[in-house]
Amino acid sequence: MKWRGSLRERCLLRAVQICNIISVSAAFFQGNFTVPKTEKTAKRTGPEANHAVKMAIREASKSYQTRSGAVHALDKVSLDVREGEFLCILGPSGCGKTTLLWSMAGLHTLSSGDIRLGNEPITKPHPEIAMIFQDANLLPWRNLAKNIELPFELKRRPPDRARIDKLLERVGLAGFENKFPRELSGGMQQRASIVRSLSVDPSVLLMDEPFGALDAFTRDEMNLLIQEIWMETRKTIAFVTHSISEAIFLADRVAVMSARPGRIAEIYDIDIPRPRAIDIQTEPDFIKQVLDIKSRIEHGRGAKVAIT
């Protein structure tokens, strides 16, 4: 399929490509988007229980060269992201969370160390790795359907309509295909960006504070939605957030980073059965876990993280 956009659109798309604002991942979906027959409330067992490693980060360091000198963002970060797990990464502002995630997406080059997907070193964007940002990054002059089809166009492949339709239905956006981003709420836009990322069926989803700009109620809704999607697809998810409760609510494990230069300070196992209801966040055990992590962060060089 040959894509025929206007010159302006093509230039902007090129910029989008170059900047890697959206993932151009295109490992096309082979099967159906169905709910696997797994127990939904019991603790997880199966392949993830033996901790197969999906992405291995080894001694990853990153310094940015700036006019005022080098900024040491990451310092020898080593972390395994396990197959099918929901890993949340928490840490104070500026500790290198985005740097780490962009490096995992192949959008940044490390100064030293390496990141692998299986045995494959990640040095550039990979079709199995998709990224979702705080801003939904929808192109304002394209309607919802055209925004979602963008990764397919960039790869000059026909869109997987069956999968897109199922995903739109799944996130409650069926019927909104002709709407433009300005006609959608922030939550709807972010749902569209989730559909766009999942439409090309990546095996790893990297999310950088994807719900940080949403109001509290919409954020709760999105947390429930992403929990359901994860339970249905068992994608490997690495999710950066500032919110300790959001991290505990969503994660199998929470990796806490130290203040810059970022290191992994601690990893917490979160042993709460799924599906998790929003109101577990008011339970004493949950609050205790929030306070434990908060105090761990506060012991690391004056870091500040919101408790929400």
Ligand X SMILES: Nc1ncnc2c1ncn2[C@@H]1O[C@H](COP(=O)(O)OP(=O)(O)OP(=O)(O)O)[C@@H](O)[C@H]1O
Residues at the interface with ligand X (CB under 6 A): 64, 66, 71, 73, 91, 93-99, 260
* Residue number, nearest CB to Mg ion: 98
Q: Which is nearer to ligand X, 203 or 243 (by Cβ)?
A: 243
Angle at Cα 219 formed by Cα 217 and Cα 225, nearest 5°?
Answer: 110
Q: Which does 99 bind (CB under 5 to 8 A by kind): Mg ion, ligand X, none?
A: ligand X
- Which residues in 35-74 contact Mg ion (CB under 5 A)? none
Q: Which two tokens stand for residue 74?
A: 């990451």
- Within residues 177-206, the interface with Mg ion by CB under 5 A covers none
Q: Is the peptide bond before 261 cis (omega within 30 degrees of 0)?
A: yes
* Cβ nearer to Mg ion, comparing 84 with 210: 210
- Site stretch for Mg ion (CB under 5 A), options 56-64, 98-106, 229-237, 293-301: 98-106
Nearer to ligand X, 73 or 200 (CB): 73
Euclidean distance between CA atoms 106 and 115, whole angstroms: 9
Minimum CB–partner distance for residue 190 and ligand X (Å): 17
* Nearest residue (CB) to ligand X, 97 versus 253: 97
Helices (H), 70-185: 97-104, 144-154, 161-170
Q: How far is the CB of 60 from ligand X (least distance, A)?
A: 12
98 counts as binding Mg ion under rule CB under 5 A: yes
Residue 192 near residue 147 (C-beta atoms within 8 A): yes
- What's the CA gap between 134 and 10, in Å, rounded? 24
Token pair recorded at residue 185: 């709420």
Q: How far is the CB of 158 from ligand X (least distance, A)?
A: 36
Number of residues that bind Mg ion (CB under 5 A): 1
First-to-last C-alpha distance (Å) of the chain: 47
Q: Give the Cα separation of 192 and 11 in Å (integer).
A: 23
Residue with Cβ nearer ligand X (91 or 106): 91
Question: Among residues 16 and 224, whose Cβ is nearest to ligand X?
Answer: 16
Helix (H, G, I), strand (E, B) or coil at 221: helix
Query: In the bound complex, what is the minimum distance in angstroms from residue 74's beta carbon to Mg ion?
Result: 12
Task: For residues 212 and 135, give the distance between their C-alpha atoms in angstroms, rounded to a whole number.
Answer: 9
**How many angstroms from the chain centroid is the CA of residue 155?**
21
Least Cβ distance, residue 242 to Mg ion (angstroms): 9
Which residues of the chain form contacts with Mg ion (CB under 5 A)? Answer: 98
